[in-house]
Amino acid sequence: MTTDDFLSAASDFNLLSLRDLLAARDQFHLHLINKPHVVATAVGRYRIRIDEPWSTRQNPMGEPAKGQKAHPKRTLSNSEIRPNSWPAILVFVDNWIQVHDLAHPEDAVPPAVYMSDGRKVPICVVEAERNEIRPEGDAHFNFPASTIGGGYPVVCDVQGQEHLASVACLVTDGHKTYALTNRHVAGEAGSPISAIIGRNKVRIGESSKLQLGRLPFTKLYPSWPGDNVFVDLDVGLIDVDDVNKWTTQVYGVGEIGALADLSDTNISLRLIGVPVRAYGAASGDMRGEICALFYRFNSVAGFEYVADVLVGPRPSHGGNSQGLTTRPGDSGTL
């Protein structure tokens, strides 16, 4: 290795910051999303297949190993983040196709993109696994005997039908206490919300006018690039009738910690691989990890939509990842 190799910023991917990845993704997202089978992009760290050997060096843009005709598919379930995983743009496809099987070579997702200053940003292709939607009848709801809290189901009556959803936790503005859930669960302000308590369906509150649907990316993260991008927040509050019937504990989890103060000043790639946990009213205990940041998943009328984090299955020490599935009724889970 020459002196130039040590000093070249173009080949040292660890110099790439989260802002660099967002800038590169913002510049090349339309190019990537128009490739065949590409459904979304995100930023994070290069994922390495669990069955691949550990090494001190990594060449994610290299050719298949000697004797290997093609790259085996990479999914969130069969891959993991390792200490030598480089910062990268993650490109999600709905079907893993080998390069030689594509109709045109230019249809392949490139192994990297080059920024205007010459820096190279690796691209990690991941197949987005599709789980079959489990019927609501397959869920195992736990209904409270007297006191309700996070992790328990709530009942929303919409157009003559009952829908079950989840409560995330209790929040307060210092004056009133609210139950946190999704905006699409709470519905329009003033909509009554019920729960099954002691085998009886009782009113617990109504949808608050305090809601968040979407906000411009640059309003939430003013120092990061993201023109024509919205963050899909989907936050709704239930204005509870009687706070004495509620507990601050989350079912199956217990007491939650202090609020995490996250912003563009302290969010970094260190969040990739962090384990997370939730309790959905339908699926119960759910454990995963943060696999990527700012998952860009939809485009409507010229605007892109992102989710702050992409949570996927958590790899186990035995080499197989722990499944992470959701069911109808988990909406509102945090």
In a shared domain, residues 59 and 146: no
Residue 188 located in a structural domain: yes
Alpha-carbon Rg for the chain in angstroms: 22
Provide the number of structural domains found in the chain: 2
* pLDDT at residue 62, rounded to an integer: 43
pLDDT score of 163 more than 90: no
Mean pLDDT, range 26-30, rounded to an integer: 92
In a shared domain, residues 158 and 283: yes
In a shared domain, residues 78 and 150: no
User: CA distances (Å), 19 to each of 71, 118, 265, 273, in order?
Assistant: 30, 16, 11, 18
Buried b (16+ CB within 10 A) or exposed e, 254-273: eeeeeeeeeeeeebebebbb
* pLDDT at residue 181, rounded to an integer: 94
CA dist 148 and 36 (Å) reads: 47
**Cβ atoms 48, 58 nearer than 8 A:** yes
* pLDDT at residue 300, rounded to an integer: 82
pLDDT in tens, 41-76: 999 999 999 988 886 555 554 445 555 567 899 999
In a shared domain, residues 31 and 9: yes
pLDDT score of 313 more than 60: yes
* pLDDT at residue 63, rounded to an integer: 45
pLDDT score of 9 more than 80: no
Task: State both tokens at 303.
Answer: 């605007």
In a shared domain, residues 149 and 247: yes
CA dist 280 and 257 (Å) reads: 18
Q: State the average pLDDT for the chain.
A: 86
Residue 222 located in a structural domain: no
In a shared domain, residues 52 and 170: no
pLDDT score of 317 more than 70: no
Q: Among residues 92, 127, 162, which one ends one of the domains?
A: 127
In a shared domain, residues 164 and 193: yes
pLDDT score of 331 more than 80: yes
Residue 330 located in a structural domain: no
What are the φ/ψ torsions at residue 280 (nearest 5 degrees)? -90, 145
Residue 220 located in a structural domain: no
Residue 7 located in a structural domain: yes
Look at residue 99 and give its three-state secondary structure. Answer: helix
* pLDDT at residue 171, rounded to an integer: 93
Least confident piece of the model among 148-152, 284-288, 299-303: 299-303
In a shared domain, residues 116 and 146: no
In a shared domain, residues 74 and 9: yes
At residue 104 the predicted structure's pLDDT band, cuts being 50, 70 and 90, is confident
The range of the structural domain enclosing residue 76 comes to 3-127
pLDDT score of 98 more than 90: no
* pLDDT at residue 99, rounded to an integer: 83
Least confident piece of the model among 83-87, 128-132, 180-184, 264-268: 128-132
* pLDDT at residue 117, rounded to an integer: 87
In a shared domain, residues 238 and 140: yes
Residue 333 located in a structural domain: no
pLDDT score of 87 more than 90: yes
Q: Among residues 127, 161, 185, which one ends one of the domains?
A: 127
In a shared domain, residues 85 and 26: yes
At residue 301 the predicted structure's pLDDT band, cuts being 50, 70 and 90, is confident
* pLDDT at residue 136, rounded to an integer: 55
Q: How many CB atoms lie within 10 A of CB 223?
A: 9
Residue 69 located in a structural domain: yes
In a shared domain, residues 202 and 90: no
Least confident piece of the model among 202-211, 227-236, 299-308: 299-308
Q: How many CB atoms lie within 10 A of CB 136?
A: 13
* pLDDT at residue 329, rounded to an integer: 87
Mean pLDDT, range 168-196, rounded to an integer: 92
Q: Among residues 127, 152, 181, which one ends one of the domains?
A: 127
Long-range contacts of 263-271 (CB under 8 A, 24+ apart): 263/221, 264/220, 264/221, 264/222, 264/223, 264/224, 265/223, 267/18, 267/293, 268/17, 268/18, 269/17, 269/18, 269/21, 269/44, 269/45, 269/87, 269/293, 271/309
* pLDDT at residue 137, rounded to an integer: 58
| pTM for this predicted structure | 0.86
Residue 328 located in a structural domain: no
Least confident piece of the model among 9-23, 154-168, 249-263: 9-23
Mean pLDDT, range 210-239, rounded to an integer: 92
